[in-house]
Structure 1
């Protein structure tokens, strides 16, 4: 008897992580369904860029609408659900905090309740974030480090994290949270600072007289590769028991390091082209974010191959190819 293909539902398939995860799962012979709030009106540029838009089924679903979530899950009956949907911008969450809490926390609750209601074995992945830890200074965060969120986005993600933990314990649902540190790629949307930096560097190197306006460049983050990080998501759902994992490179650099490296890659001195704009400063800011990926290596056998400089090289090459 031929075993049927495993099914995966990716909520938020139109984003960077959703597109790379869909590609990975298709390569593993999954049947993939993706959701978007507006399946007909969304562009799905990531799927198009990866050449897989015709290999996945896409449906509309409101992540914070229980009826919508329940209907999609019941019709598809996936083996695995990856919740990558909801608001994904720290900056935007300061302007739209209600949207952050509604889409992230209520979205997670709707997903968990739907899984609890449906009599079908489903493994659930929830997208967490390093923003939950707040300031880490010189001590890398581990899976048992206390949370200290500094933005509405992070507060909503903390709520989501504890909902997953509660449903895992109370209802024995296979549910886990991937606490991912910053991860980038060539299909990162332009509104993110890393893509903004890469585009500006390439544009200026091609002759533009524009300046790059940034906020606080003294902040330090751990930047990795989105394409590598989605493999860690998949690995989490292949374990005998559900657990939460930090996914990061273990290397922290300042945003100034990122800018300097990007401009150096196109033979420019960043100091001549970058302007600090106070209007871009956030109401509260995490200055240093560090993570310890030891558990992911020990339990999942996963470690980051691409560090910040590798990611920048890949993004620069991709950006230059579209000029």
Structure 2
């Protein structure tokens, strides 16, 4: 080996060691200022609620303020793009959802971000959907709903969170599986969609059990069926679509924290540890159980694998229904 090559190798090794040491030191002092979690939806929906619950837990465990900033619009694209372009230092995070990384890449040929622009931190929640209806809808189960939609095509309207959102895809899945003709009415967030549903301005909505259960219990909405494998402990009286004879209607939405690509491993590993500690707490476990959500503490790599798994699932649905948004 020449002296020049030996010197170059030593220099490269010292640079790598220096970078590794710097990242480790950065993690030791992280965080030393407020952290921002960008939510790509308007306030009030389950994504926003979950982000605010996690921000409280992280604030306590990291001894720094963790604030939530809502950036709704364009099927989570606006919020996601904001974080993709942020400095990869762990101070700007994204509360991503299924739409962001598991379905949008299949719906758009051009996105202002790529899956590789993000670094998974931790899965924060997993929820099935519940199909809820305004009490004025003359159908109380899946069979009656399908018959009504076929008898009067286009009369029933279903709220969604916009083209390409999980709610849009699940409604499309229902139409594809049953032939039900239901009008798609897009909203900018779950809160305004739920408000209009209760007011009777729209007939149906595939919502999170978390936000719809209070309305169901008080009679402002009625539940038709859930997209889970089995009945929810939070609402054991609500049947699944599988029980109702539509096994194709099996769908979940994931929620999780991601950082911009390039964020040091030491920082994302620290955040993963703190998030999983919060998820494993009896308080969070009980809250998730009563609200019909599921927490699965896992490594950042496992979360990345889950994102890819759901990408394959939704990709097949999107392709089979020939849905494109550009």
Higher helix share: 2
TM-score normalized with structure 2 length: 0.30
Which structure's relative contact order is higher, taking Cα pairs within 8 Å and 6+ residues apart? 2
Q: Rg larger in 1 or in 2?
A: 2
TM-score normalized with structure 1 length: 0.30
